[in-house]
Chains A and B, each alone.
Chain A
Amino acid sequence: MKNISQISQEALGNDYYAIHLIGEIDINYLPQLETTLKPITEMAQLKGIILDCKKLVFIDSKIVGFIVYLYTKLSRSNQKLIIAETNETINDIMTLVGLSTIIQFTPTFDEAVKQLNVYVTQ
């Protein structure tokens, strides 16, 4: 069965957002990902973003590159990026290039929200 790929956003309070990545997100979805994230990253009050990967099946190196760019951009403004609930394949792709050494990963989405709450209240 063919995976239906989708990118959606969810506001988790005023300070942080979740981006839900579903299916196979490759270079073809990069413009949509950029469009979704641009207004969010430009918000002055933004404290952090969670990339929800629970239903993510595949990403290619262009998307990994974009995640690195997003991490760099958020870090410069003291904002946090958390990658939540990656399956084994996604985890392999991300850890292989070394993303796990610079970006925080959490096993569940709730854990990511908890981590961001802690970060926001700090």
Chain B
Amino acid sequence: MKFIRNSLTNKALFLFTILVFAGVILGIAFNRLQIKSASLNLILIVLAIILLVILLLFIFDVVIPVGRVTKQITNLLTGKNYKRIEPITIDEVGVITHFFNEITRDLEKISYDIRERRRMSSELDIASQIQKDVLPKEVPEAPALDIVAKTRTASEVGGDTFNFIPSADNNQLFIYIGDVTGHGVPAGLIMMMVDTLVNAIISRGVTNGRELVVYTNKLLTPRINARLFMTSVVLRWDKLHQKMYYTGAGHEHILIYHTKTETVDAVRSGGIALGMIPDVSQIAQEKEIPLEIGDTIVLYSDGITEAKNKTGEMYGLERLTESVRKNGYKPSAESIFDGVTKEFANFVGEYVQIDDITMIVIRYRGNEAGASKSKLTISKEGVQQERKSVIWDWE
């Protein structure tokens, strides 16, 4: 029976065979019984009954199942509500019904995934916007300084941060850069946490960078996973005495361009990254950076020094230092920034950005004639595609 049920052709052959067989049997029967007078009507009635049975079998086994699946396929194609059908045959119609059920199941899954992706993408856009809103829009008043700061995330949400926060008495300006392990949402959440902590701690009246680092670390460490940490450098600008101090928290080097000698010092920031151990009070130290008019400080995240070109070569500290040395003579922080980032972009070529990158250029201009309010530029590009350095040109 299975041979007949699993193919429409077999079914048709079977029904045709029944019809022929019935005709032959009837012929033989009439001949043997010598029913010569049998009316044509009787023969026709018997044949009609057999045909009717065959027709009913055909309707129930083929026409109705095909109709059911065709209706649902039409609904699917025209965007109407459709429902899955329980296959009642195992022939070609049954296979089509099963295929329809599977395809609609897959379509629903794909459709769900697309909706979920859209939702997540929309939430990431919101997170990205919130993170951008956290970054400073302008530098608080520090007329002796010319500042440019920019950051670019490798994905929608980044782990790099920076900020400029005046002390409670407005006599100091805290400038910090931070880089959380890795990038993406986990790093972004920690970046937001640290930014909030730093703002809160400064508003409570800390007087130096060391205190800021110690308190931030103390509050951060118990709240984050042991594998995550944030490297940072906190600069403190004493507005009254025009002196710059730094406190390192395991961050990259601080590059200092001396305008007199046209040389660059790469100073180890020192300290230990935030979040590694509960108490850094014995490690964190605040030190002065002696500055003369025209000197420039460059802070950066490791996304710059660890960026590679297409041959896999890293940009590295040496190239960055040399670039700062070559561009340090320029008259403004913006022109220095542009020169350094152009050289960086030329080096990495079209290699895809894999880590967040941030750079702050601070030029000490003293009380130069025409000194105006410090300038701050923050890159604002969204990130929906792979970052290539041709669009890293921060101009």
Q: Chain A interface (Cβ within 8 Å of chain B)?
A: 27, 60-62, 64-66, 68-69, 72-73, 95-99, 101-102
Shortest Cβ distance from B273 into A: residue? A97
B312 CB to nearest chain A CB (Å): 8
- Interface size class on chain B is 20 to 34
What residues of chain A lie closer than 8 Å to B231, measured between beta carbons?
61, 96-97
Inter-subunit contact B228/A65 (CB<8 Å)? yes
Given A97-B231, A98-B283: A69 and B226 interface contact (C-beta under 8 Å): yes
What residues of chain A lie closer than 8 Å to B182, measured between beta carbons?
27, 61-62, 65
Inter-subunit contact A97/B272 (CB<8 Å)? yes
Inter-subunit contact B226/A73 (CB<8 Å)? yes
Residue B195 CB within 8 A of the other chain: no
> Contacting B250 at CB < 8 Å: which of A60, A62, A97?
A97
Give 6 closest A-B pairs by Cβ, nearest first.
A98-B272, A97-B250, A98-B250, A65-B227, A69-B227, A69-B226
Inter-subunit contact A98/B271 (CB<8 Å)? yes
What residues of chain B lie closer than 8 Å to A72, measured between beta carbons?
226
Shortest Cβ distance from B249 into A: residue? A98
Inter-subunit contact B277/A102 (CB<8 Å)? yes
The secondary structure that dominates the B interface is loop
Inter-subunit contact A98/B227 (CB<8 Å)? no
The secondary structure that dominates the A interface is helix
Residue pairs across A and B with Cβ atoms less than 8 A apart, 9 shown, are: A62-B182, A64-B181, A65-B181, A65-B182, A65-B228, A68-B227, A97-B231, A98-B276, A98-B283
Inter-subunit contact B306/A60 (CB<8 Å)? yes
> Contacting A61 at CB < 8 Å: which of B253, B268, B272, B302?
B302
> Contacting B181 at CB < 8 Å: which of A61, A73, A96, A102?
A61
Please provide the chain B residues from 221 to 239 with a CB less than 8 Å away from any CB of chain A in the complex: 225-229, 231
What residues of chain B lie closer than 8 Å to A66, measured between beta carbons?
227
Residue B211 CB within 8 A of the other chain: no
B254 CB to nearest chain A CB (Å): 11
B243 CB to nearest chain A CB (Å): 25
Shortest Cβ distance from A60 into B: residue? B306
Shortest Cβ distance from B317 into A: residue? A92
B170 CB to nearest chain A CB (Å): 32
Shortest Cβ distance from A75 into B: residue? B277
Report the bound CA distance from A99 to B253 in whole Å.
Answer: 15
Inter-subunit contact A68/B226 (CB<8 Å)? yes
Residue B286 CB within 8 A of the other chain: no
For the A-B complex with A68-B229, A97-B229 known, give 7 more contacts whose Cβ atoms are closer than 8 Å.
A69-B227, A97-B273, A97-B276, A98-B271, A98-B273, A98-B276, A98-B283
Report the bound CA distance from A62 to B306 in whole Å.
Answer: 13
A92 CB to nearest chain B CB (Å): 8
Report the bound CA distance from A38 to B249 in whole Å.
Answer: 29
Shortest Cβ distance from A92 into B: residue? B317
What residues of chain B lie closer than 8 Å to A97, measured between beta carbons?
229, 231, 250-251, 272-273, 276
Residue-wise, chain B 305-317 has the 8 Å CB interface mask toward A (1 for contact) of: 0100000000000
Shortest Cβ distance from B316 into A: residue? A89
